[in-house]
Structure 1
């Protein structure tokens, strides 16, 4: 019987050895990478300190994709403010404010928040702040909202003067940051891993980019996800690489970032007349929220250039940039062939993001400027 059992076990040794030979290097590489990421996370993440401030937070009221922003800000406020009261725009916000008497009210986006409510809360002596999330793309609308707030925060530096010229006495440039509870390094399933990905809506400037880029990447493992990608000239040829019309929650987005070696960031155009409401034609020079989300996930980011980018990351060291489809394709080839350099830039980007660009950093700035202004 023992001899039979030994023969049975011996029959599995070749398969075991083959599995070990294939699996061990992958497991070691994954563990080593995640260990390096964890070391950065522990060293770079600031410890939140609660302030003796009561914040009344009014959500965007828009649902997805704004709800993840609301969630990240609320969860972070709970760690940096002594008390947080949460309301939605269609509630009786004035009644709530009168009852709880917060030190300040913070409104995200503000397009669903009645300015009459804001004015009533101003008259109570409560400082009101608004954080615009889509500047400069909806400035036709936000111009009429901003003047009702004590302090205006915009994620686009070119909008500071725009709001000041319309009578806002306190305007500050404050980009959105990232909530590391959603965007962080992950050990993704090998079944979903690839080389390059892009997640986002197919605005026309992005369509133009990918129309030229796709043939240059035909030999690479590419994944695209988002609305309207059937606008591509050769969509039928590339549709197997695209999750068309898919909205992804933050955790799923971060998982996809982690599953690929390179993540492309292409900013939205300020002058897309088919979608924007920006009659003043304010140009966009500031990085989008995706900039911080990609880097917080521990991925190498290749982004188009914006003038403010160097305020947040050192190009070539903490982030990589491109200026044309051909340049983007060439740099992707380079970093895919230089794995150590790719990982080093990604780790430096992760470190910088956690140190300077989380919602902890942003909300501390926001509270300082609102309460001390």
Structure 2
């Protein structure tokens, strides 16, 4: 009898092991085939780059993580777009460096921690300056006092263009951030990074209020959330096993998590959220956040809340999917988890459009064309 039980347990273990190998093989084959399709589609977005005969001095934020990946993405991309690139950061004696190397343009990223005396000195020395604000409209109480010191102002928020113009800035341009394909692209992630639903971001209070309404549903699914402050959820104790609490993931790990998800939720930060908000004038936000482009670059179905200017970049229902309420989010998740081919087709179209139109190469080529028109 005991031997029979041991044989039974052994047979069950063998069957489980065989089934596990078969499922693993099938999953690996499916993802490998999908990855190959993505690589083929990405080749359609490739195009030649012609470097402009100019010298750019790029002033990175120097603020460390999470800004350092942005510093790297822009400096790396610029290097292939101009004849000469000098890179420094906001903690260095930038005015002295500029006086020595005499660039055609100084491009400052973010600029919130950059001493404006350097900007004023460079302009007095006849050196042209530009700033690219990365967090509008959430810090306009600060950026409003900075913008007027520069010759050229670039903002990722459409509604901030008129804001800076009203402050007296004569040359203001709308230029959202984008995707850096070196990091954000289709990948073959580890099994532990694969989930049905994923959200990566901080738990601002208005996000918490929204997620409080869908926590029960998400708890019933293969869901993964990563970011700071998620202990603010009302049902955090019953949902905590699905949250990577307090984690700041780098670009590669973030991209792997996007790649491993069937659906990635994007929820924009509210313009009037009380957490770290310096927007007393109440400028509303209508432009897509950088995450919009990074998610789509990974060939993952993106389910995003609606921003008015989103349609300038993607077509809802074609290369991205939107929701306008907690109930609609749940309905869209349910639909696309059970309509595999439709989900994949939208994700693939979103990736192609991103790689073709919304990379940092696209953005910086646009910036340089504005600064140095033919």
TM-score (norm 1): 0.94
Match of residue 199 from structure 2: 198
Match of residue 84 from structure 1: 85
Query: 1:11-50: CA deviations, max 9, x gaps?
Result: xx98997566334322321121001100111111333221
Match of residue 210 from structure 2: 209
Looking at structure 2, the residues matched to 100 and 291 of structure 1 have their Cα atoms a distance apart, in angstroms, of: 37
Looking at structure 1, the residues matched to 49 and 353 of structure 2 have their Cα atoms a distance apart, in angstroms, of: 17
Looking at structure 1, the residues matched to 105 and 335 of structure 2 have their Cα atoms a distance apart, in angstroms, of: 49
Counterpart mapping for 1:1-373 below 5 A: 21-372=22-373
Looking at structure 1, the residues matched to 23 and 249 of structure 2 have their Cα atoms a distance apart, in angstroms, of: 32
| Secondary structure, aligned partner of 2:57 | strand
**Do 2:153 and 2:171's aligned partners in 1 also have CA atoms closer than 8 Å?**
yes
| Secondary structure, aligned partner of 1:251 | helix
Looking at structure 1, the residues matched to 25 and 90 of structure 2 have their Cα atoms a distance apart, in angstroms, of: 53
Q: Out of 153-162 and 55-64, give the one that drifted further.
A: 55-64
Looking at structure 2, the residues matched to 125 and 328 of structure 1 have their Cα atoms a distance apart, in angstroms, of: 53
Looking at structure 2, the residues matched to 148 and 372 of structure 1 have their Cα atoms a distance apart, in angstroms, of: 22
**Do 1:127 and 1:370's aligned partners in 2 also have CA atoms closer than 8 Å?**
no
Q: CA RMSD in A?
A: 1.7
TM-score (norm 2): 0.94
**Do 1:127 and 1:371's aligned partners in 2 also have CA atoms closer than 8 Å?**
no
| Secondary structure, aligned partner of 2:153 | strand
Looking at structure 1, the residues matched to 275 and 27 of structure 2 have their Cα atoms a distance apart, in angstroms, of: 46
| Secondary structure, aligned partner of 2:195 | coil
Q: Out of 270-279 and 360-369, give the one that drifted further.
A: 270-279
Match of residue 9 from structure 1: none
Looking at structure 2, the residues matched to 202 and 15 of structure 1 have their Cα atoms a distance apart, in angstroms, of: 39
How many equivalent residue pairs? 362
**Any stretches of 5+ residues in structure 2 without a counterpart?**
1-13
Q: Out of 87-96 and 330-339, give the one that drifted further.
A: 87-96
Question: In 2 relative to 1, CA 332–16 (structure 1 residues): closer, same or farther, beyond 3 Å?
Answer: closer
Looking at structure 1, the residues matched to 40 and 336 of structure 2 have their Cα atoms a distance apart, in angstroms, of: 23
Looking at structure 2, the residues matched to 246 and 338 of structure 1 have their Cα atoms a distance apart, in angstroms, of: 32
C-alpha displacement of 1:367 = 1.1
C-alpha displacement of 1:214 = 1.1
C-alpha displacement of 1:112 = 1.4
Looking at structure 2, the residues matched to 119 and 217 of structure 1 have their Cα atoms a distance apart, in angstroms, of: 52
Looking at structure 2, the residues matched to 155 and 277 of structure 1 have their Cα atoms a distance apart, in angstroms, of: 16
Query: 1:51-72: CA deviations, max 9, x gaps?
Result: 1111100011211111110000
Looking at structure 2, the residues matched to 267 and 23 of structure 1 have their Cα atoms a distance apart, in angstroms, of: 35
Query: 1:273-297: CA deviations, max 9, x gaps?
Result: 3420011100000000000000011
Q: Out of 35-44 and 13-22, give the one that drifted further.
A: 13-22
**Do 2:193 and 2:256's aligned partners in 1 also have CA atoms closer than 8 Å?**
no
Looking at structure 2, the residues matched to 301 and 208 of structure 1 have their Cα atoms a distance apart, in angstroms, of: 21
Query: 1:132-161: CA deviations, max 9, x gaps?
Result: 000000000000100011100000000000
Looking at structure 2, the residues matched to 196 and 73 of structure 1 have their Cα atoms a distance apart, in angstroms, of: 30
| Secondary structure, aligned partner of 1:44 | coil
C-alpha displacement of 1:178 = 1.1
